[in-house]
């Protein structure tokens, strides 16, 4: 997540010592407490949301709403077993469409004069 090298980390430590001096341990403790409180608030909000949604959404995970996770889960994974049956399953198309890759060089695609 953070691309900080050893030299950059050393500069940050020296700057922290210069800026905060003797108060550095108390500032670090306050920052740790603040992060702990933020995590607790986020967990509480997540728990409240899951309880409020009811039993239908017991498997709901908020991380699934992240765009990368959403795309990976719904578009990139092949979950045909979970797919509900469609009313069009098993039906053949009324006509055979020819894709652009099926046409020979110079051959025109099919044209329906009654449809236009």
Q: pLDDT tens digits for 38-74?
A: 999 999 988 888 888 888 877 777 777 788 888 887 7
The Cα 40–Cα 33 span in angstroms is: 10
Q: Compute the C-alpha angle 92/96/102, nearest 5°.
A: 135
Q: What is the DSSP letter of 40?
A: H
Radius of gyration of the chain from its Cα atoms, rounded to whole angstroms: 29
- Helix spans in the chain (H): 6-20, 24-53, 67-71
**Residue at 91 is within a domain:** no
**Residue at 21 is within a domain:** yes
**Residue at 107 is within a domain:** no
Does the pLDDT value for residue 97 go beyond 60? no
Q: Domain count of the chain?
A: 1
Does the pLDDT value for residue 95 go beyond 80? no
pTM reported for the whole predicted model: 0.43
Does the pLDDT value for residue 25 go beyond 90? no
**Residue at 111 is within a domain:** no
**Residue at 73 is within a domain:** yes
**Residue at 25 is within a domain:** yes
**Residue at 105 is within a domain:** no
**Residue at 76 is within a domain:** yes
Task: List the domain range (segments joined by +) for residue 30.
Answer: 6-80
pLDDT of 32: 94
């Amino acid at each position: 997540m953070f691309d900080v090298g050893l030299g950059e980390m050393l500069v940050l430590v020296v700057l922290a010592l210069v800026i905060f001096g003797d108060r550095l341990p108390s500032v670090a403790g306050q920052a740790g407490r603040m992060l702990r409180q933020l995590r607790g608030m986020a967990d509480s909000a997540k728990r409240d949301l899951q309880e409020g949604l009811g039993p239908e959404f017991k498997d709901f995970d908020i991380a699934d709403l992240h765009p990368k996770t959403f795309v990976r889960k719904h578009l990139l994974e092949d979950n045909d077993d979970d797919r509900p049956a469609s009313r069009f399953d098993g039906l053949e198309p009324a006509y055979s469409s020819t894709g652009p890759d099926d046409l020979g060089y110079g051959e025109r695609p099919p044209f329906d004069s009654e449809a236009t």
